[in-house]
A and B are shown apart, each in its own frame.
Chain A
Amino acid sequence: MAQEDRVELAPVRPRIRWRPAPSALLLTWVTPLLLVGAWEMAVARGLVRPTILPSPTTISSTFVDLLVSGELFHHLSISLLRVVAGFLAGACTAILLGTLIGLSQAAARATGILLGVLRPIPMVAWVPLLILWLGIGESSKVALIAIGTFWPVLLNLVHGIRSTDRKLLEVAQVLEKDRLTLLRRVVFPSAMPSLLTGLRLGVGIAWTSVIAAELLGADRGIGFLIAYARELLQVDVMFTGLVTIGITGSLIDFSIRKLEERLLRWNPDLEGGR
């Protein structure tokens, strides 16, 4: 064995350090803290009316109150359940259809026009129809989320399957692999990064659409909390809703990224974080 090749198992590409230096950490926090500080001052000095824009301290105490009373968690869990149901429905349909379209030219032709026309329809345009068909209850909301999730998952998966390296397919052919092995060991792993990107975009859209659906008509959920607070002019509760949406959304995104890193350990493009 040649000496040269006895190198340590080090990543080939230079790593971007993900653990930030203390000064960098300061920089990430300084902007939001300054903004919140200025906001607090503005309200305290009477520059803005608290009925329009309550102070950060008011909002955070409302946040804590709602958290402690369990009301926030109640609404949040309702919204999350809807997201999970809609996301699963949308993603599963998209994965089945996407696999078919990605693998078969005939399936791609057969669905081409249909998907081309349906895709540009914005999600909100479906709302009246969904309410007419499914009523104002759970199923219309879940359906809306499913539609939102469906598109990014479908498009990314199809792209991922189609861009499988022809040279690798040739290797599998030379090694006499049957079709099932080819799909399981070559095509799907190769499409995995694209699929995960699709799922991440999809869950983002799912979270957005659950709020939209709840704002339009619901009796529970974070969207409802905001809409109801508006009727009662509880601006602090509205802000609490917004903050909850933001935090939950970024937590979902964060966990999917972690999942990506775990599943795509082999992918040099992911190393060192993004």
Chain B
Amino acid sequence: MGRENSLTVQHVTKYHTSPQGDRLCVLSDVNLTVEPGEFVSIVGPSGCGKSTLLRLILGLDTDYEGRILVGDQPVTRPGLDRGIVFQEHRLFPWMTVFENVAFGLSEHAAHRRDTVRHYINLVGLSDFENAYPHQLSGGMRQRVAIARALVSQPQILLLDEPFGALDAFTRVQMQQELIRIWSQEGTTMVIVTHDIDEAVYLGDRVAIMSKRPGTFRKEYAVRLVRPRDHGSDDFLQIRRAIHREFFGEVEVPFAYTI
């Protein structure tokens, strides 16, 4: 895999201007390098600018200082080289599953039908090609959103709290599915989440963001073989360390009562 699948964020600083004209620093000197084929998790409390960072990477907002590169190309506008899955599925309700996924392709793409079928199959929805989004469950809708983001074979897939609105069971299933898709497709992936467990389960690395102004504070390498076990000692140790990072030492009063 070539360098073109890497993502580089260099010294990115971003201000929001309030309607009163006050400038608020949302991102301060953010640096991040994602290697080709890597899976990076970004965790942080709400309001730390995680989603803003993704918007900048997407090219939806270009009003910032610093540089963002995909491969060695600077990001100037949205493009099919970066796919995105949002927290809300954002499917078009008037399109069938097939049409929604096909909408993710460029107009000039060759073999449209086969490509679309391949990705619908990849997310396990072959039997639901002609269903409308309102006929699907929450998890299924999110699968369609993933297929739509992947169908143009982007260099990088960005995921903005993609499973945040799902119930706990479906969420774990979707995490497993995402890892399967990642290893099958080899796409570079960056997930933003506030779920520490999810971050550790998915990421090769977990980058910790702090709030006001948002910046990367620390990074944990997760050197665990996949499939990972949410309950293993190593897993829990990393989880605990990250938890501590946010909430400090937790007092365990009953330890003293014995």
Q: B-contacting residues of A (Cβ < 8 Å)?
A: 1-2, 4-5, 7, 9-12, 167-168, 170-171, 173-177, 181, 185-186, 189-190, 192, 265-268
Contact = CB atoms under 8 A, between A and B. Distances in A.
A1 B174 CA distance: 9
Given A168-B92, A171-B86, A185-B103, 17 more contacts: A2-B170, A5-B124, A5-B139, A9-B131, A167-B86, A174-B58, A174-B82, A174-B84, A175-B78, A175-B103, A177-B103, A185-B95, A186-B92, A190-B94, A266-B93, A266-B94, A267-B94
Contacts of A176: 78-80, 106
A154 B79 CA distance: 36
Interface string B68-95: 0000000000111010101010101111
Interface in B154-185: 169-170, 173, 177
Interface residues of B, number: 35
A82 to B, nearest CB: 34
12 contacts: A2-B170, A4-B169, A5-B124, A5-B139, A12-B134, A12-B135, A170-B90, A171-B86, A175-B80, A175-B152, A177-B103, A185-B103
Q: Considering the complex of A and B, which 6 residue pairs feature the smallest CB-CB distances, nearest first?
A: A1-B124, A268-B134, A189-B94, A2-B173, A266-B94, A266-B132
B128 interface: yes
Contacts of B133: 266
B140 interface: yes
Contact of B92 (A10, A173, A185, A268): A185
Nearest to B79: A176
A182 B131 CA distance: 22
Contact of A266 (B80, B124, B134): B134
A179 B59 CA distance: 18
